[in-house]
Structure 1
């Protein structure tokens, strides 16, 4: 057992990141098996836009749970790939609306069977005694009620910053 694994809960963030990197790396290879040029990091944006059709950038960031700068970075990559387009909102000139392009829609059509395959594989991997997805949902709910930092401040009896 390596040092990180032996540290237990102290390294949970590191271990989740390691797990995420492994899934993304393998996901990229699975897309390549299907002859699809797609980065797994683009998935949340493409998936959200496929289902919501058009979103403002702030709404998209909230939908996928990413920061505004992280969302902007992904949008730039997807725009460069001609998978998304953006336009000014007719009702609010300051707001940009984002949607999939025809190329993006076509790519999603090709990816839907791949997503089903990936979903089946992930279910196989995560359907364990402790069910990873259920555990992640529970932890996220705990953090929505009170963040990690808020809990630390509470324990140190320091007023919220």
Structure 2
């Protein structure tokens, strides 16, 4: 018989999360702010692990804190394979294998047991391991629960619940992704979107030629617009915008007037220098073009692209464009057409 141990109670035995950082550490963390989140959590983990070892000694249990996740699963759910244990506790298989070896040497686990279907080798608790689980339930767990409740009464926040919330939020969007977004927002504040002038003609051409040549081949329609932007875009009622970062042109986008009963403008010739990507420049350019079209009284904007340009397609969807099909195009590379309804 395997002794069932309540998950919340037994988990809190090792993962005592409501510990207050030593007062002499607080000044350092007040200075660093959120930058030292990882360091602070590691310090808290080290403190909890240190006290966990002492608690085992207090109850005369020969046990290493790092064994707990594996021990808990085996005590609550019975024999399991290394793979099953690793998947359930979120550890790597080599890590679980090493822990199983250590616990086997300590006499708490019996490895290479035959499962009921006689096809898989599994690990399970020995009689000594089961006895330790029983002793934990009868003594240590109740004492630990009482100690934690005391801490909760002395604190303004329930750290156990807060950790669960953090885990959920970081599962939805990792910290790296959140920092990446904030970096983009901060750096985008240094980006200026300015109207085209002749001093930016080389940048307009070179930025577009760079990305087109990287994926496709320059076509006749490209040369017309890039070599003669005034004649083919500006003089026809269109606009061109340039993104400046630290006063250097790093991005461009055009709003081309269309002679079409359905569409007023085409958003085209968007290009951002690789060295300036990740600063939200494409979005800022696209939004500027859309705002200009809306200010002119336009109702629909059209664009053409290629699905190989995944970041660009994602950007267009983010700006509100939707996929359409069936329109003629002068570009061989075009395999997706999109529109933005400004009146919705």
| TM > 0.5 fold call | yes
Instruction: Answer 1 or 2: higher relative contact order, Cα 8 Å, separation at least 6.
Output: 1
Rounded to whole Å, the distance in 1 between the matches of 2:130 and 2:165 is 33
Q: TM-score, length-normalised on structure 2?
A: 0.42
Out of 49, 74, 78, the residue aligned to residue 74 of structure 2 is 49
Question: What CA RMSD, in Å, does the superposition of the two structures yield over aligned residues?
Answer: 2.5
Count of matched residue positions in the alignment of Structure 1 and Structure 2: 158
| 1:67 matches 2:92 | yes
CA contact (8 A) 1:89 1:96 kept: yes
Shift of 1:111: 1.8
CA contact (8 A) 2:74 2:80 kept: yes
The corresponding residue for 1:149 is 176
Q: TM-score, length-normalised on structure 1?
A: 0.83
Rounded to whole Å, the distance in 2 between the matches of 1:145 and 1:96 is 35
The corresponding residue for 1:140 is 167
Out of 57, 64, 72, the residue aligned to residue 32 of structure 1 is 57
Gaps of 5+ in 1: none
What SS does structure 2 have at the residue aligned with 1:129? coil
After superposition, residues 43-122 of structure 1 pair within 5 angstroms as: 43-87=68-112, 89=115, 91=117, 93=119, 95-112=120-137, 113-122=139-148
What SS does structure 1 have at the residue aligned with 2:80? strand
What SS does structure 2 have at the residue aligned with 1:55? coil
Shift of 1:116: 2.2
Higher helix share: 1
Higher strand share: 2
Larger radius of gyration: 2
Query: Displaced runs of 4+ in structure 1, greater than 6 A?
Result: none
Rounded to whole Å, the distance in 2 between the matches of 1:34 and 1:151 is 43
